[in-house]
Amino acid sequence: MSLPADFQFSQSSLQDYVDCPRRFQLRYVQQLAWPAIRAEPPLESERYLQQGSLFHRLVHQHMVGLPAAQLSRQAIGEELSRWWRNYLEYGPSGLPQTRYAEVLLSAPLGGYRLAARYDLIAVEAGERAVIVDWKTLRQRPRRAWLAGRLQTRVYPYLLVRAGREFNGGREFMPEQVEMLYWFTEFPAAPERFVYSAARYQEDERYLLGLVGEIAGLEATVFPLTADERRCRFCHYRSLCRRGEKAGPLDEAGEAEDEEFGLTFDLEQIAEVEY
């Protein structure tokens, strides 16, 4: 099965491929909508998703200059109001002053494009850039788990490749870039990853290898993951005959990020291209 020539990879689609090639194929190549809930109870998982989406919107509005007092009136509901308070009181400190929120970047990669949407890039031009990602996970992920996520590799890599517009027309050096995960439920325990030239080269090799591997797959049906725990929170369970019933939301744990993270429409990726 060949990919369309204009196919765009993202950290989400690459993560799906690494987790389960079949999920990647169903979701991104065949774009198959499958009517199944992701987690039980469905209304609670839907409500949680909406809270996460509202939080991202509030922070975005704050970053573009709306006053906190005005936005606080919209932070209603137990979780959202707590997250918002945590953000106002314990949000990331020491960030560079120039802020770009909800930025879309893309660059060519292995004959296709790689694209990403950033929650926030804080920049001191010529000096440094901090990528901030807001996470509304119920459990604090382990550093080792975060380090292995495609997001931790793709975001800094792509900022170096395609972020010169934020740095006076010059590419950021990898050492000038850092990635910060900030957790709404654990505001005092953010996680930082400092980038490096060695890491950049390693990521480039890895991402090119991954894209080449996917593009070269000829199977009509991509392999199903051998780790059936992944299927518990996957829309395609019944299609793959991996069970009918969704896993409980409170057991999703680190899987939450895979399945409950905000997604974005790849067709939106046109703003900043390299």
Positions that interact with ligand SF4 (CB under 6 A):
20, 22-23, 26, 224-225, 230-231, 234, 236-237, 240, 242
> For residues 213 and 271, which CB has a smaller minimum distance to ligand SF4 in the complex?
213
Q: Is the peptide bond before 248 cis (omega within 30 degrees of 0)?
A: no
> For residues 99 and 242, which CB has a smaller minimum distance to ligand SF4 in the complex?
242
Q: How far is the CB of 28 from ligand SF4 (least distance, A)?
A: 12
Q: How far is the CB of 15 from ligand SF4 (least distance, A)?
A: 12
Q: How far is the CB of 224 from ligand SF4 (least distance, A)?
A: 4
> For residues 68 and 239, which CB has a smaller minimum distance to ligand SF4 in the complex?
239
> For residues 20 and 160, which CB has a smaller minimum distance to ligand SF4 in the complex?
20
Q: How far is the CB of 218 from ligand SF4 (least distance, A)?
A: 19
Q: How far is the CB of 234 from ligand SF4 (least distance, A)?
A: 3
> For residues 211 and 231, which CB has a smaller minimum distance to ligand SF4 in the complex?
231
